[in-house]
Amino acid sequence: MKSVTIKELFSAMFLFEIGNTILFAHGISAKQDSWIAVLLAMISAIPLLYLYVFLYNTYKVNLTEILKISFGKIIGKMISIIYMFYFFYMAARVTRDYLELSTSSIFPLAPIKFIAIFLMVVTAYFLLFDISVTLKVASILLPFFLSLVSVVFIFAFTIPGYSFSKIFPVFAGGIIPILKAAYPRILTFPFGEMFVFMMVFPKLKCNKDLLKYSYLVYLITGILLAFNDINMISAIGVKEASRVNFPFYTVTRLITLGFFRNLDSLYIALMIIGNLIKIIIFAFAGLKACQSVFDIKEYKFLLIPIAAIIYALSIVTAESYFVQVPVELPIMALYVHIPLQVIVPILLLIIYFFKRHKLHS
């Protein structure tokens, strides 16, 4: 089994958290105080992150194996099947996000199915060489990704009409709208999604600094996402940020660097890095869950059929952000993400306290 270093895992976790979230920020709550909701959700998610790491450090196996130990083999496998489909759905959901942006703005004439097939081929190719390769690539790409994001953040100040005054007044509608934005939407996306790394943690050479690096990921993610909200609203205003599907892309197109205008190529680079890492990790988690459920020693023969399933799901899921944002996301956050990201891990913790004497005996 190929292992990875904590810094490689940190790079993948960071790109997983920040990449797709910044690119596809579509006004989770495009208001002056949306950045407060992001920071509030980040702080609230820290105990959740501690729970994920605690469960892994206690059992030293991935999430589906913990489920079998805690609930028993039969019930554990049944819950693992739910997680398996959830991971594949999330891989398809991120793929669909990529397709939406590609076909609606960057590549309007490109066949959507061709782009989806390309993503699945790349995903299957990376998984053919184990997830450790993806994590190593993430550590190489992280400085490049951060450099490109920094360009957008810094040069957004040059956009005509840019003003921090656009983020005021905060708390204009009271605390309730901020709480509604933070819970459960921002809590589950992106912070709660970190639980998928419970399927990756066993790849670590040493888990000594796992909790410290995981906290660092949350801290940097929360700060960058909050600043991203401030930056977008300051650049294009609340109304425009609420109207467009991809405000970060809109900001990128408004930046002018000398002779360089409409920095679409910069956004494409960010999009490929930010989304591929997330698709690959969710697909890997689904494959490992499948391996655990059916007691398969090797999952590589499943790559093609699973890639086909993710491809099909990405095509048949919500055809437009006009459906996804107001309808699908709130329902998924409350009735799917919260149970799988929060409730089940808490149940695992409760079961651990009842069984801890037996586990340590």
On whether residue 13 sits in a domain, the answer given is yes
Alpha helices, DSSP H only, in the chain? 6-23, 34-59, 63-71, 73-101, 112-128, 131-155, 176-180, 187-188, 210-243, 247-254, 264-293, 303-316, 321-323, 329-332, 344-360
Q: Is-contact 276 134, C-beta < 8 A?
A: no
On whether residue 332 sits in a domain, the answer given is yes
Mean pLDDT of the chain: 87
pLDDT of res. 319 = 55
Tokens of 247: 């405000």
Encode the chain (361 residues) as per-residue pLDDT tens digits.
568 899 999 999 999 998 878 876 654 445 678 889 899 999 999 999 999 999 999 999 999 999 999 999 999 999 999 999 999 999 998 998 888 878 777 777 778 888 899 999 999 999 998 899 999 999 999 999 999 889 888 888 888 899 999 888 888 778 888 888 888 888 998 899 999 999 999 999 888 889 999 999 999 999 999 998 899 899 988 888 888 778 888 888 888 776 666 677 777 788 888 889 999 999 999 999 999 999 998 888 999 999 999 999 988 875 555 555 555 677 788 889 999 999 999 999 999 998 877 666 5
On whether residue 84 sits in a domain, the answer given is yes
What digits encode the pLDDT tens for the residues 116-127?
Answer: 999 999 999 999
On whether residue 271 sits in a domain, the answer given is yes
Amino acid code (one letter) for 81: I
> Within 10 Å of residue 101's Cβ, how many Cβ atoms?
23
On whether residue 1 sits in a domain, the answer given is no
| Overall domain count for the chain | 1
What digits encode the pLDDT tens for the residues 225-279?
Answer: 999 889 989 998 888 888 877 888 888 888 877 666 667 777 778 888 888 999 9
CATH number at residue 59: 1.20.1740.10
Q: What are phi and psi of 260, to 5 degrees?
A: -90, 120
Structural domain boundaries enclosing 284: 6-360
pLDDT of res. 261 = 65
Q: Is-contact 163 229, C-beta < 8 A?
A: no
On whether residue 310 sits in a domain, the answer given is yes
What digits encode the pLDDT tens for the residues 315-353?
Answer: 887 555 555 555 567 778 888 999 999 999 999 999 999
Task: Identify the CA nearest to 292 among candidates 103, 114, 91, 82.
Answer: 82
Largest CA distance in the chain: 69
Q: What are phi and psi of 335, to 5 degrees?
A: -105, -10
pLDDT of res. 247 = 85
On whether residue 34 sits in a domain, the answer given is yes
How far apart are alpha carbons 257 and 234 in whole angstroms? 19
